[in-house]
Amino acid sequence: MDIRPAALLATGILAMLASVALALEVSPQAATTANRTAVITGPTNAPAAGQCSAASSDGSTGYENQCPSGTCSCLEIANARVRGSLAGQGTADIFITVDDELVITPSGCNPIFGIANLTTTLHGFALTETVNFAGASCPAEPIRRGKAMASGAFGLQSSSISSTGFGLFTGIGLGTAKVQLRFSGAVTQ
């Protein structure tokens, strides 16, 4: 049997290329960490008495379900619009407990505890995530056209694509007809 070296080499190269192509086809992309943002906008309801008690999208008790002083109110932002590199495009249901009794003086700010359950599409894939956040909501100042400001920190509680991360958030207009929350931080996807 006469096997030519060139034919043997060509067969080996073809086999190697086929195995590389197969590996690329079935291997998931490597996770990367980057600064990612999400902007969520929508109208709030009138504050309801008591702490919020929504469940996280993974079924666990929500982070907003706490009221240190015992005198709290609940803000709900249903079906809010989500956009950005953290979660893609879609909607969110947000629940924010405001501790009405614990006032940070002299500014008059109140502690807040929130949860955002996101249902979005990111890079063509359906995504559900739960974002926990805590911070303070401060009274409206003339510079912000009478809209209350909020700021604090957030962390991803759960993600259908196993994203992890944390960062800072800011908000404007809590308790008004239009609220905007912006989340920005180091997120691994």
Query: What's the confidence (pLDDT) of residue 119?
Result: 96
Q: In this structure, is residue 142 part of a structural domain?
A: yes
State CA 112 to chain mean position distance.
Answer: 17
Residue 145, classed as helix, strand or coil, is coil
Which H or E element spans position 21?
A: helix 5-26
Query: What's the confidence (pLDDT) of residue 4?
Result: 53
**Model confidence pLDDT, tens digit, residues 49-70:** 999 987 666 666 778 899 999 9
- Number of domain units in the chain: 1
CA dihedral (37, 126, 28, 166) in degrees, to 10, reads 30
Tell me the backbone φ, ψ of residue 65, rounded to 5 degrees: -85, 60
Q: In this structure, is residue 9 part of a structural domain?
A: no
Q: In this structure, is residue 1 part of a structural domain?
A: no
Question: Hey, how many other C-beta atoms are within 10 angstroms of the C-beta on 109?
Answer: 19
Q: In this structure, is residue 12 part of a structural domain?
A: no
**189 secondary structure, DSSP code:** -
Query: What's the confidence (pLDDT) of residue 8?
Result: 42
**Structural domain containing residue 179:** 30-188
Q: In this structure, is residue 136 part of a structural domain?
A: yes
Which H or E element spans position 181?
A: strand 179-188
Query: What's the confidence (pLDDT) of residue 143?
Result: 54
Q: Which residue has the tokens 């003086």?
A: 105
Q: In this structure, is residue 141 part of a structural domain?
A: yes
Give a three-class secondary structure readout of 81-120.
EEECCCCCEEEEEEEEEEECCCCECCCCEEEEEEEEEEEE
Residue 15, classed as helix, strand or coil, is helix
**Model confidence pLDDT, tens digit, residues 109-142:** 999 999 999 999 998 999 999 999 999 998 876 5
Query: How many angstroms separate the CA atoms of 94 and 150, rounded?
Result: 14
Query: What's the confidence (pLDDT) of residue 7?
Result: 45
Residue 68, classed as helix, strand or coil, is coil
CATH code of residue 77: 2.40.350
Query: What's the confidence (pLDDT) of residue 173?
Result: 83
State CA 22 to chain mean position distance.
Answer: 34
Using a 10 angstrom Cβ sphere, with 0-12 exposed, 13-18 middle and 19 or more buried, the burial of residue 156 is: buried
Q: In this structure, is residue 18 part of a structural domain?
A: no
**What average pLDDT is seen over the chain?**
82
Q: In this structure, is residue 3 part of a structural domain?
A: no
Q: Which residues of the chain carry a pLDDT beneath 50?
A: 1, 5-27
